[in-house]
Amino acid sequence: MDNILKYVLSKSFISSCIIFIVALVIFFFLGKKKKKLAKKIEDLKDPKVIFTRRLLLTGQILAIVLGFVIICQINGINLMSLVAGLGIVGAVIGLAFQDYLKDVIMGFHILSDRFFTVGDCVDINGNEGVVVAFTLTTTKIDLLFDHSIVTICNRNINSVKKLNGLFYIDLPVSYAEDGEKMHTVLGDSCKRIAKIKDVKKCEFFGTQSFDSSSIAYRIAVYCLGAKIPPVRRAVLFELQKILKEEGIVIPFNQLDVHIDKTEIKNL
């Protein structure tokens, strides 16, 4: 009993209690800050909120761990033997969770360098779509062309291309059509295309290339990245109507066959 009373009144016990209280205060203070960051469910989808909450959680864990270590040192407990014993276990756990750690590290990298945010239209590893969810480990994309949801591990994201909503249409027209007429018709068609829903701007760039059986004229259309597939279809339909009104025909691929008459005579 005297030993217990002596220990309670010792500096080591009092110091341990102070460290314990300080660690708890920091833990609950950071926890309160973390709750305030997400007052609404929508806030939980904001990458900045996710990043800050993760940092606060890390701070809470560090407060408890450091408090425990300091209390052990004050009371003369040797942690080196414990750490050595846990070394093998730690190595096994490290190997098992190395992919997870790679995801988290890349997740922090994406947030810090602002690769993208939820709602951006991006191209990641050939997957074009809208970012609908992001965590420190995974990114979910709603594909533009079939609305499939693709989940990508952050460690597999090497580069990200933000789609600006610009796409080109190269319209093939017969060599028989007058060039000046085509420039006039397609220049005027951009005014009609600009009135299509979700189209921001339309520009006629002129002659793009001379192909085997047609001349290609390029038109540039600007819209929201997420709207590219439906807008593209609407623009193509409008161009189809314009060509029909003007009596302009899109040519089929043609193949010229040259026959050597001397060989035919020999047959």
Q: What is the pTM of this model?
A: 0.57
> Same domain for 172 and 238?
yes
- Residue 122: strand pairing partners: 129, 162
Residue 107 falls inside a structural domain: no
Residue 226 falls inside a structural domain: yes
> Same domain for 144 and 175?
no
pLDDT attached to residue 216: 92
> Same domain for 185 and 242?
yes
When divided into structural domains, the chain yields a total of: 3
> Same domain for 150 and 174?
no
> Same domain for 21 and 48?
yes
Residue 32 falls inside a structural domain: yes
pLDDT attached to residue 212: 82
> Same domain for 37 and 58?
yes
* Residues contacting residue 127 through CB under 8 Å, at least 6 positions apart: 141, 143, 150, 152
The strand ranges marked E within the chain are 121-124, 127-134, 138-143, 149-153, 160-162, 166-173, 199-210, 215-223
Alpha-carbon Rg for the chain, nearest whole angstrom, is 33
Residue 93 falls inside a structural domain: no
Q: Which of 56, 77, 98 finishes a domain?
A: 77
pLDDT attached to residue 152: 92
Is the CA virtual torsion 119, 122, 124, 126 positive or negative? Answer: positive
Provide, for the chain, the percentages of residues in helix, strand and coil under a 3-state DSSP scheme, each rounded to the nearest 5: 55, 20, 25
pLDDT attached to residue 205: 92
Provide the CA 32 distance to its chain's centre, in angstroms: 30
> Same domain for 137 and 182?
no
Structure tokens at 194: 């600009």
pLDDT attached to residue 265: 58
Residue 202 falls inside a structural domain: yes
> Same domain for 9 and 70?
yes
pLDDT attached to residue 43: 55
Q: What is the CATH number of the domain that holds 174?
A: 3.30.70.100
The H or E element containing residue 239 is helix 228-246
d(CA 136, CA 80): 32
- In degrees, rounded to 5, the angle at the alpha carbon of residue 79 between the alpha carbons of residues 76 and 85 is 150
Is the CA virtual torsion 104, 105, 108, 114 positive or negative? Answer: negative
Residues of the domain holding 147: 115-162
Residue 264 falls inside a structural domain: no
Contact 218, 167 (CB under 8 A): no
| Collapsed DSSP state (helix, strand, coil) of residue 133 | strand
Give residue for tokens 């420039």. 183
Residue 146 falls inside a structural domain: yes
Q: What is the CATH number of the domain that holds 132?
A: 2.30.30.60
pLDDT attached to residue 235: 93
Residue 86 falls inside a structural domain: no
Of 155, 231, 228, 157, the C-alpha closest to 193 is: 231
> Same domain for 53 and 72?
yes
pLDDT attached to residue 204: 93
Burial 4-37 (b: 16+ CB within 10 A, else e): eeeeeeeeebeebeebeeebeebbeebeeebeee
pLDDT attached to residue 41: 45
pLDDT attached to residue 259: 66
Structure tokens at 147: 């609305």
pLDDT attached to residue 189: 92
Q: Which residues of the chain have pLDDT under 50?
A: 41
| Collapsed DSSP state (helix, strand, coil) of residue 214 | coil
> Same domain for 53 and 122?
no
